[in-house]
Amino acid sequence: MSKQPTKPSRDRVLLVLGAGASIGASKYPIQSSIQEAMAKMPSGENFFRDLFWQGKTQAHGPRHLNSLSVLCPGLNDTIVRVWGLDKELEGWEPEQWTGINIEDVFTFFDVGSSMYARGTDYQRGFRANTRALESFITSTLAVRSEGMHCEHLMHVMSSLSASDSIISFNWDTLADFTVAIWRERLETYVELMGAKRLRIGSFLHRGVLLKLHGSLNWIVCRNKRCALHGRIRLAVRDCKLLQQMDGAYTCPGCGSHRGRPFIVPPSSQKLITPGTTLHKLWLLARAQLPFFSKLVFIGYSFPVTDFYSEWLFRQIYFIQGKLPEIIVVNPEIMKPRSAVSRRYLRIFRGCTMHKFASLEHFRDDGLKLLEKSGSAGEQALGSPAARTSTKERSARTLATTEPAASPNGGPAKPLLSSGQAEGPPSVS
């Protein structure tokens, strides 16, 4: 049985990872020219255009390549037709894919599937497109994240204590393989996902990784006759995350090779079924919330249709005592009139807010904010990598710190402007 802290700490840190954390990741190791070309993760708002982007390699220069038309030609034709990409009929036009949001595409297929009776041609057609889109996403994102960790996140996580938790809304496995650097965290993650009956109390005071939108390495058996059918299984062997996902799809219960990743599509129609593993992970996140004095959001923009995440973090107003400090790492938070900035100020009204334009800036200038308030606080887990020198940190631009706007006042003007990452433009 795992050891529990004798006295629950109320000075813990919660790290929340959104799409921007993967987009701005410094990935390691890059072991092939394919991974080198596909190093940049796609954004949600320009998902397909970003996914088609290939960086410079020894074999070719920067370019766009429509992998969707090769891997899923039927799905490609459907999107071209529905989104009016008329120039695609004459030739490859990557800019036509700008602004096609992955959430809009999933929602379109989900709504279409729900509008027709089960078993009809229309219903089967919409469902087939949804499955094809899920398959395309999981296979292409796996190439960009499988077996790799993020150097920036490794520095941030090295400042966390063993009782600090991490929430990831990303399907990719960058957070998983970064967490796996610390065996204690990996063992807790494996124990959590392997529990036959997940008991929230067993993990309430422990640092956990909660992937609340599913993950590429969560495998579900599709064989309805299998005892493991519908049950989430983490792709792990001997307490090591599997790097080659091909072998992970084989079900240990029935031997079927038709397993598929469990992901929650970014659709406005998404629902979390009560009693499922995913539902219990959300409840665990809510149960841990009173113990966090600092909430750190990296690359998360609170999409307007992600009702569950807004519900979760608005629960801070039911907690007695001081409101948690909010730390936001996102280029859009530096713009007072941006939609992201307005959402954070609306959700975390009355909280002290610290702002950073990038993960690199936060790694170099903001980790001191994660220090425990008491001298008897827990020790940080530590990292095998060396930190940036004091001289290098002082040369960087400092981020702003300010209280979130009250009903009668607005935010102060920030001191740091956002930077432009290499590669195609993207939205966190």
Report pLDDT digits (tens) over 201-252. Answer: 999 999 999 999 999 999 999 888 898 888 899 998 888 887 666 667 888 8
Contact 27, 213 (CB under 8 A): no
Q: Which residues fall within 8 angstroms of residue 320, CB to CB, at 6 or more apart?
A: none
Determine the pLDDT at residue 390. 34
Q: What is the pLDDT of residues 375-418, one digit of tens each?
A: 444 556 664 443 333 333 333 333 444 555 443 333 333 323 33
Residue 424 forms part of a structural domain? no
Determine the pLDDT at residue 55. 65
Instruction: Identify the CA nearest to 267 among candidates 108, 150, 83.
Output: 108
pLDDT at position 8 over 70: no
Determine the pLDDT at residue 403. 53
Last residue of a domain, one of 122, 145, 168: 145
pLDDT at position 115 over 90: yes
pLDDT at position 78 over 80: yes
202 shares its domain with 278:
yes
Q: How many domains does the chain have?
A: 3
Tokens of 116: 């027709």
202 shares its domain with 325:
yes
| Length of the chain, in residues | 428
Q: State the pTM of this model.
A: 0.82
pLDDT-derived band at 144, boundaries 50, 70, 90: confident
Q: Which residue has the higher pLDDT, 108 or 61?
A: 108
Contact 269, 306 (CB under 8 A): no
175 shares its domain with 320:
yes
252 shares its domain with 228:
yes
End-to-end Cα separation, the chain, in angstroms: 40
CA–CA dist 364, 366 (Å, integer): 6
Determine the pLDDT at residue 204. 95
229 shares its domain with 323:
no
Determine the pLDDT at residue 317. 95
196 shares its domain with 298:
yes
328 shares its domain with 394:
yes
Task: Supply the range of the domain harboring residue 103.
Answer: 31-145
Residue 420 forms part of a structural domain? no
Q: What is the pLDDT of residues 299-340, one digit of tens each?
A: 999 988 888 999 999 999 998 889 999 999 999 999 999 999
Residue 303 forms part of a structural domain? yes
Q: What is the pLDDT of residues 151-178, one digit of tens each?
A: 989 999 999 999 999 999 999 999 999 9
Determine the pLDDT at residue 373. 65
Determine the pLDDT at residue 328. 97
Determine the pLDDT at residue 404. 54
pLDDT at position 427 over 60: no
Largest CA distance in the chain: 68
Determine the pLDDT at residue 65. 83
Which range (32-41, 51-60, 364-373, 392-401) has the least confidence?
A: 392-401
326 shares its domain with 303:
yes
Residue 409 forms part of a structural domain? no
For residues 184-190, give the mean pLDDT: 94
Determine the pLDDT at residue 2. 46
The runs of H, that is alpha helices, within 83-219 are: 102-115, 121-145, 151-157, 174-179, 183-194, 200-203
302 shares its domain with 395:
yes
127 shares its domain with 224:
no
299 shares its domain with 167:
yes
Q: How many distinct helices (H) and strands (E) make up the chain?
A: 17, 16
DSSP single-letter state for residue 292: E
195 shares its domain with 230:
no
Q: What is the pLDDT of residues 50-74, one digit of tens each?
A: 888 876 666 667 778 888 999 999 9
Which range (26-40, 107-121, 226-240, 351-365) has the least confidence?
A: 26-40
Q: Which residue has the higher pLDDT, 253 or 9?
A: 253
Residue 164 forms part of a structural domain? yes
